[in-house]
């Protein structure tokens, strides 16, 4: 009965959506601003939103969700409030056990692949249809916080609980995933699990010979955690395109926009993809006093000039979405009285428009060549380390998410993700979108990382309703 009412409700709302929805959304946004202002004055929420009909049955158990976030944070190799959870470490193994246990408590059937991507499945009443997938990661770089990734895994399991409690019955099966190693900490490879799921042959090959800082091989480390396979052939992890009808990732924004604007939900329309470049210039060095200026070929000055050229080329794109950073600049020998004989730069550049970003890379290369010529230094290295394409969200999924926000009367805005996520790679095999929630000052990757339990609950509700819609579609 409940299930039927719920489906009908969604159906009705979908019809309303076709009609006048601009006006409704504008009006609701105004109301929310008033509530926000009142809340800012009082310091606590004025009232819980009141839901009509079966939407009222979408209730998040915030206390238990917060408790789980806190408990998961105790599986850490650094003291609270920081969290350090490295791939295949003892703490990672314990945290994985915790997640699998929660999945089972929610009635999901759990399976794992050869690198430890963990799936929990709720069978739909048409189980032969491609399922809807949601999830994120729980690994944490050294001395980081307890929300990055975690909100999208524990929140996904809670979204399933929300739907179960509401009486909803999925048509397409719903699955929760915990990705292996989104962070590059141990083996220098980010989004390891999702890259493999997306079928990266190159990565499967690379992992056969990858070792960590302690010279422990990837397969040894995986074996320690109970993963891997006899042949060391990770291609069994690959998923076929179309294995899932949709992928949705709930995540903290890791930027300040939502909090600053008082907007509850960010609907991600694109994920900017990074490229990184390593550059080395070599000159003759020499004594800082004895070598006269006209005689020098200073590798350090070449690097300085290239760093400024990076900024110039990025700004020339004319788009706020193009960014570039020289985050590493090392001089050799690094003595005050020695002209740098070698300079090494590492450059990160991102954009949501691939050709625009590639043009920036090309201009940086041209500048590096010209600067080397002008300063009579050798450009001994210009290596593009990675050059991933950006990903666009699927319009039908972002629409479903926006509709969910509207039905829940939550303020929302479209935005792009400047950080990248497992979604970037899932986009290669499935239509996807991401749901962002506000986080304190945009902090992440540090212990101060924080999202309020109310903001998390909003995210979980939007996720639950989005999954419901996608499951029925």
Confirm or reject binding of residue 210 to ligand NAG (CB under 6 A): no
Confirm or reject binding of residue 422 to Zn ion (CB under 5 A): no
- DSSP 8-state code for residue 338: B
Single residue of 149, 199, 228, 324 touching Zn ion by CB under 5 A? 149
Binding residues for ligand NAG, rule CB under 6 A, total 9
Nearer to Zn ion, 179 or 281 (CB): 179
Single residue of 5, 14, 49, 454 touching ligand NAG by CB under 6 A? 49
Of Zn ion, ligand NAG, none, which one does residue 447 interact with (CB within 5 to 8 Å by kind)? none
CB of 24 to ligand NAG, least distance (A): 8
Of Zn ion, ligand NAG, none, which one does residue 148 interact with (CB within 5 to 8 Å by kind)? Zn ion
Confirm or reject binding of residue 248 to ligand NAG (CB under 6 A): no
For 308, phi and psi rounded to 5 degrees?
-70, -35
Alpha-carbon gap, residue 96 to 410, rounded angstroms: 32
CB of 220 to ligand NAG, least distance (A): 9
As a residue count, the chain comes to: 473
CB of 427 to ligand NAG, least distance (A): 30
CB of 149 to Zn ion, least distance (A): 4
Of ligand NAG, Zn ion, none, which one does residue 50 interact with (CB within 5 to 8 Å by kind)? ligand NAG
Site string for ligand NAG, 127-156 (x = CB under 6 A): ------------------------------
Contact 170, 124 (CB under 8 A): yes
Single residue of 32, 113, 139, 148 touching Zn ion by CB under 5 A? 148
Of ligand NAG, Zn ion, none, which one does residue 149 interact with (CB within 5 to 8 Å by kind)? Zn ion
Confirm or reject binding of residue 398 to ligand NAG (CB under 6 A): no
CB of 214 to ligand NAG, least distance (A): 9
Helices 90-105, 150-166: inter-axial angle, 10-degree rounding: 10
Confirm or reject binding of residue 408 to ligand NAG (CB under 6 A): yes
Q: What is the DSSP string of 161-216?
A: HHHHHHT---SS-EEEEEES--S-TTTS-TTHHHHHHTT-HHHHHHTTS-B-TTS-
The 3-state DSSP class for residue 335 equals coil
CA-wise closest residue to 157 among 229, 72, 94? 72
- Identify which range of 45-53, 172-180, 241-249, 397-405 contacts ligand NAG by CB under 6 A: 45-53
Residues 6+ apart with CB under 8 A from 231: none
- DSSP 8-state code for residue 300: H
Positive or negative CA dihedral for 242, 467, 257, 193? negative
Confirm or reject binding of residue 409 to ligand NAG (CB under 6 A): yes
Alpha-carbon gap, residue 278 to 328, rounded angstroms: 9
Nearer to Zn ion, 148 or 351 (CB): 148
CB of 339 to Zn ion, least distance (A): 43
Question: Cα torsion at 298, 299, 305, 310 (round to 10°)?
Answer: 180
Residue nearest to Zn ion according to CB distances in the complex: 149
Contact 274, 420 (CB under 8 A): yes
Confirm or reject binding of residue 215 to ligand NAG (CB under 6 A): yes
Q: What is the DSSP string of 18-31?
A: HSS-HHHHHHHHHH
Confirm or reject binding of residue 55 to ligand NAG (CB under 6 A): yes
Confirm or reject binding of residue 317 to ligand NAG (CB under 6 A): no
Contact 138, 85 (CB under 8 A): yes
Cβ-in-10-Å burial (0-12, 13-18, 19+) of 177 comes to buried
CB of 349 to ligand NAG, least distance (A): 32
Of Zn ion, ligand NAG, none, which one does residue 356 interact with (CB within 5 to 8 Å by kind)? none
For 159, phi and psi rounded to 5 degrees?
-60, -40
In this structure, the number of other CB atoms found within 10 A of the CB of residue 98 comes to: 17
- Identify which range of 70-78, 143-151, 168-176, 360-368 contacts Zn ion by CB under 5 A: 143-151
Footprint of Zn ion (CB under 5 A): 148-149
Footprint of ligand NAG (CB under 6 A): 28, 49-52, 55, 215, 408-409
């Amino acid at each position: 009965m409940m299930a039927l009412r719920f489906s009908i409700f969604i159906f009705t709302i979908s019809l309303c959506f076709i009609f006048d929805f601009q006006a409704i959304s504008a009006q609701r946004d105004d109301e929310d601003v008033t509530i926000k202002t009142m809340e800012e004055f009082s310091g606590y929420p004025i009232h819980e939103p009141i839901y009509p009909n079966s939407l009222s049955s979408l209730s998040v158990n915030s206390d238990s969700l917060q408790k789980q976030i806190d408990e998961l944070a105790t599986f850490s190799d650094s003291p609270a409030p920081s969290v350090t959870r490295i791939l295949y470490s003892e703490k990672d193994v314990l945290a994985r056990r915790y997640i699998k246990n929660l999945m089972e408590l929610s009635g999901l059937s759990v399976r794992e692949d050869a690198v430890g991507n963990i799936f929990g499945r709720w069978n739909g009443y048409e189980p032969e249809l491609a399922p809807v997938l949601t999830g994120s990661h729980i690994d944490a770089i050294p001395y980081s916080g307890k929300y990055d990734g975690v909100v999208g895994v524990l929140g996904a399991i809670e979204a399933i609980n929300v739907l179960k409690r509401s009486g909803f019955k999925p048509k397409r099966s719903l699955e929760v995933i915990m990705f292996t190693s989104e962070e590059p900490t141990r083996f220098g490879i980010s989004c390891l699990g999702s890259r493999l799921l997306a079928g990266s042959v190159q990565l499967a090959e690379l992992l056969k010979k990858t070792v960590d800082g302690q010279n422990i091989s990837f397969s040894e480390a995986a074996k320690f955690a109970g993963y891997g396979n006899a042949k060391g052939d990770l291609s069994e992890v690959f998923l076929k395109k179309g294995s899932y009808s949709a992928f949705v990732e709930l995540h903290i924004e890791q930027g300040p926009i939502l909090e600053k604007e008082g907007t509850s939900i960010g609907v991600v329309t694109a994920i900017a993809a990074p490229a990184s470049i390593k550059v080395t210039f070599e000159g003759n060095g020499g004594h800082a006093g004895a070598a006269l200026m006209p005689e020098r070929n200073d590798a350090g000055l070449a690097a300085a000039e290239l760093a400024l050229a990076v900024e110039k080329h990025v700004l020339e794109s004319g788009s706020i979405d193009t960014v570039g950073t020289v985050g590493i600049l090392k001089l050799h020998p690094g003595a005050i009285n020695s002209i740098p004989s070698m300079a090494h730069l590492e450059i990160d550049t991102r954009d949501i428009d691939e050709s625009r970003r590639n043009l920036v890379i090309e201009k940086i290369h041209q500048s590096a060549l010209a600067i080397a010529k002008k300063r009579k230094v050798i450009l001994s290295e210009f290596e593009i380390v990675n050059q991933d394409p950006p990903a666009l969200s699927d319009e039908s999924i972002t629409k479903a998410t926006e509709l969910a926000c509207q039905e829940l009367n939550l303020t929302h805005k479209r935005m792009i993700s400047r950080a990248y996520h497992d979604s970037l790679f899932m986009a290669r095999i499935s239509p996807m979108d991401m749901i962002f929630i506000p986080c304190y000052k945009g902090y992440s990757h540090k212990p101060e990382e924080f999202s309020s339990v109310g903001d998390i609950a909003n995210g979980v509700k939007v996720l639950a309703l989005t999954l419901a819609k996608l499951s029925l579609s």
